Amino acid sequence: MPHLQIKNLWKAGAALLLLIAYIVLAYGLSRHQAYYNPYRLSGHDTISFETAKVVSVDSENVKHDEKHPELLVGSQNVTITVLTGAYRGKSYRITNNLNYDVNYYLKAGQTAVVSVSATGDGKTVNINVNTPNRTPYLYLMAALFVLLLCLVGGKKGFRSVLAIGFTVTSVIFVFVPLLYRGVPPEAAVLIFSAVTSCVTLLLVGGFEWKSLIAVLGTFGGVLLSAGIELVFTSLTGTSGYTFSDTESLLAISSHSGLRVGGLFFAAVLVASLGAVMDVAISVSSSVNEVYRGNPDAGRKALFASGMNVGRDMLGTMANTLILAFTGSSLVGLIQIYTYNMPYNQVMNSNQIATEIIQALTGSFAVVVTVPTVSFLSAKLLPLLAEKKLRFRRPQ
């Protein structure tokens, strides 16, 4: 038993080192690019965002807003010391204005992110409060989540952490840079979906046939939903050009290889990928357990088992996708309700049309994945057992 525990620790350590190596490699490769800098000012003027500490609040004229008591309005005169960047260690007395747009009440001792605008000769420096310094708390929240996942999930929880690390790294340092450098979004998202689902499902489900079947089912569901999306985006005239931030995307594309038109296609598939993987591994694992408990079960019985499990998941999973997209567009829905916008205007607006297509495409993918994985599991598990093909002995 101690030998087995040491062996498991070695495996966990090796897996963690591989993830770290992948993060470092992906980060290094993503940096080899001349980036468009929207903060470059005229001449040699510069602007940067630095961390600063509030040394003291010298004076303030702040009160609660009459209509919105939770908001503070007014101003504070504070002394801050810059902690990072070219002006590190220097102190400045600045005014922190509080209004509807910027409402960050500062206290002595806390840290904040400030924008530092300087002329080329460095003689004129303007500093404004940008946001509170939220980074430490975000890291703390992530650390607590990882700890809880490992405590509750055990070895599988640790593998899930590795899978999350791989996915986040792939999105930030591989997928997005590929789009920036001109790789067609349609190709980039399909490659990303295949690689991410393969790594994630093999880590979470183990190196077993059920995991490979889940990978095949996931990619099959994504491909079918991609076809459906292409048809309806063409019929409705929606694309990356219908995003609310199209103007900034076009500015970026003029300095890079970014293909704006295909971004909507990529965004929809990425948004639905997690739910599709969830359904695929759940159905595949369920059929695998049924087969291991009853090796004499026929293919029809295995397929029926997979469909029964999948049907129980369909309603909640499709609802999850729709509610997620509802949450992302909640402000827009409130505005529509408040202004009593006409039905024709609402249903044909870019925002609502794109949200509906996103929600329904993800739901299509989930629905299609259930029979696909059920069929593959029922067909392949008995066949593989007959051939005595196995990644490893099930634990």
The model's pLDDT over 307-337, given as tens digits with 9 standing for 90+, comes to 998 888 887 777 776 777 777 778 888 888 8
Region 170-178: mean pLDDT is 91
Looking at the structure, do residues 103 and 202 belong to the same domain, yes or no?
no
Q: What is the CATH number of the domain that holds 98?
A: 2.40.50
Residue 58 has pLDDT above 80, yes or no: yes
Position 8 scores a pLDDT of 65
Region 182-207: mean pLDDT is 89
Residue 175 forms part of a structural domain? no
For residue 232 the two structure tokens come to 């309806």
Looking at the structure, do residues 187 and 72 belong to the same domain, yes or no?
no
Mean pLDDT of the chain: 84
Position 394 scores a pLDDT of 44
Looking at the structure, do residues 325 and 254 belong to the same domain, yes or no?
yes
Length of the chain: 395
The answer to whether 204 and 255 are in contact (CB under 8 A) is no
Residue 343 has pLDDT above 70, yes or no: yes
Residue 101 forms part of a structural domain? yes
Residue 121 has pLDDT above 80, yes or no: no
Looking at the structure, do residues 213 and 115 belong to the same domain, yes or no?
no
Residue 366 has pLDDT above 80, yes or no: yes
Domain count, the chain: 2
280: CB partners within 8 A, 6+ apart: 197, 201, 214, 215, 217, 218, 221, 369, 373
Residue 164 forms part of a structural domain? no
User: Which of 133, 163, 191 is the endpoint of a domain?
Assistant: 133
Q: Which of 116, 112, 121, 110 is nearest to 43 (CA)?
A: 121
Region 44-72: mean pLDDT is 87
What are the pLDDT digits (tens) for 274-298? 889 989 999 999 999 998 888 888 8
Range of the domain at 124: 46-133
Q: What is the DSSP string of 144-165?
A: HHHHHHHHHHHHHHHHHHHHHH
The model carries a pTM of 0.81
**pLDDT cut 90: percent of the chain above it:** 28
Looking at the structure, do residues 50 and 127 belong to the same domain, yes or no?
yes
**pLDDT cut 70: percent of the chain above it:** 90
Strand-pair category, 72-82 with 46-64: antiparallel
Instruction: Return the SS3 of 40.
Output: coil
What are the pLDDT digits (tens) for 253-279? 888 888 988 898 898 888 888 889 989
Residue 138 forms part of a structural domain? no
Position 364 scores a pLDDT of 87
216 vs 119, residue with greater confidence: 216
Position 88 scores a pLDDT of 92
Looking at the structure, do residues 75 and 196 belong to the same domain, yes or no?
no
The answer to whether 78 and 94 are in contact (CB under 8 A) is yes
Task: Please state, in angstroms and rounded to a whole number, the distance separating the CA atoms of residues 30 and 22.
Answer: 12
> What residue has token string 């397929």?
303
